[in-house]
Amino acid sequence: MEAIAVRLSNLDPHVEGAIRVVVFYDTLMRRRVDLAALARASAVFAECVAGIRIHGTGRSIRIAVDGRPASDPPAPASTTVPITLDEEEIGTVWLERAGAPGPLDEVLLDRFAIAASAAVERYGPARTTMADPALVELAIGADSDEAARARALRLLGFAADLPVRVVAVRSREPLDRIGALVCPGRPVKAAALADVGVLLATRVDPTRFPAGVRAGIGAAASPDLSWRQARTALRFTGPREPVVHHRDLGALALLAEIPRAAALDNADVAAIARLAAVPEDVETLEAYCATGSLRQAADLLHLHHSSVARRLEQIARTLGIELTGPAGHTGLTRARLALTAWRLLDPVADPAG
């Protein structure tokens, strides 16, 4: 190709430049660069800011001429071209060139878009996030043999040498949207099993779950064990901690193994159940258990500390547990465990219930 460009340069400098653009992007695609490397190479080659945006994930990359992320705010795009994959527009590439577009910008952006499409197909999230529930169930089921599990994961698009994490989700948000948010630029599959959503992914960003979503994240490399851990972690979620990673539970995970009848027979748990008749009292106890400080609990509840102190006195009488006095440390531990055990009794919180 380069030899052809040299011969054609004697006839038409524009043709030579266009072919050099084609050779440049063909080389990048042969090297299997990802979107970030592609944007960086394009910015240096075009000698202006180059950008990529993928619609499905909302991910945007803007790289300056020096190969570093471009500063905000972005300049108006001088030229824009859609990225298409399987005849569907999945994103956009653009250049932010001061003044008029360059003579080769049209060719450059066409090849830039083609290379971006190839990178998304190779490294980006699967084109169809929602998966066949039967296939997902086969991948995470405890009764599946390893050969069947491996085949299901292959059919779902996961490489054999990568660990697959499992997330149990409760939300009114569409699962495919949640998957795209928490697994940007990574393979992810989603399915609804009964009333619990399942996400399978090689990596999960727990900070990207939208408000209102409850999620338990499994830690094990084996999908079946990760699924069991994810369901357990989901049971520990609440308004103050909507996303829980199983690895952070430690010994608390053992509380999920306590039989329901045994928990109900415990005096402390029964006392919490009686306390639940007054939601404000439960909220106050949760805030105090979370902070271990009367003043910090008051800040959390947006109340004066004296009001919280009076509530805690009443709560302590109801529970029969000293929360703030000399035995307060032991009482606080009992209250925390009882409150957690009571939360785990909620059948809605138990995906297996």
pLDDT digits (tens, 9 = 90+) for 24-49: 999 999 999 989 999 999 999 999 99
* Cis-peptide, bond into residue 82, ω within 30° of zero: no
Q: What angle, 0 to 180 degrees and rounded to 10, lies between the N-to-C axes of helices 279-291 and 305-319?
A: 100
Q: What is the mean pLDDT of residues 283-299?
A: 90
Dihedral sign, Cα of residue 53, residue 55, residue 56, residue 57 = positive
The answer to whether the Cα torsion of 110, 111, 113, 114 is positive or negative is positive
- The pLDDT, as a whole number, for residue 86 is 67
Query: Looking at the predicted structure, is the pLDDT value of residue 13 above 70?
Result: no
Q: What is the pLDDT of residue 124?
A: 56
Name the residue ranges covered by the structural domains of the chain: 2-123, 133-256, 258-344
d(CA 238, CA 125): 29
Task: State mean pLDDT over 289-316.
Answer: 90
- The whole-number pLDDT of residue 127 equals 52
**Residue 74 DSSP symbol:** P
pLDDT tens for residues 174-221?
898 898 889 876 778 999 998 899 999 988 999 999 999 999 999 988
Q: Where are the alpha helices (DSSP H) in the chain?
A: 2-9, 13-30, 35-46, 105-123, 133-140, 146-155, 175-182, 223-235, 260-265, 267-275, 279-291, 294-301, 305-319, 328-344
Q: How many CA atoms lie within 13 A of 101 on its CB side?
A: 16
Does the domain formed by 258-344 have CATH 1.10.10?
yes
**pLDDT score for 58:** 63
**What is the pLDDT, as a whole number, of residue 178?**
92
Q: Which residues of 144-154 are buried (b: 16+ CB within 10 A; e: fewer)?
A: beeeebeebbe
pLDDT in tens, 319-339: 888 888 776 688 889 999 999
- Top CATH class of 2-123 equals alpha beta
Q: Which of the four pLDDT bands, split at 50, 70 and 90, describes residue 17?
A: confident
Best CA proximity match to 317, nearest among 271, 267, 276, 286: 271
Q: How far apart are CA 128 and CA 119, in angstroms?
A: 16
Q: How far, CA to CA in Å, does 67 sit from each of 71, 73, 108, 118, 177? A: 12, 17, 17, 21, 31
pTM over 0.75: no
Token pair 């011969």 in the structure block, residue: 7
How far apart (Å, rounded) are the C-alpha atoms in residues 190 and 131?
A: 6
With H, G, I as helix, E, B as strand and everything else as coil, classify residue 76.
Answer: coil
Q: Do domains 2-123 and 258-344 have the same CATH topology?
A: no
Q: What is the pairing mode between strands 214-217 and 243-245?
A: parallel
160 vs 36 pLDDT, higher one: 36
Residue 309 to residue 307: CA distance in whole angstroms: 5
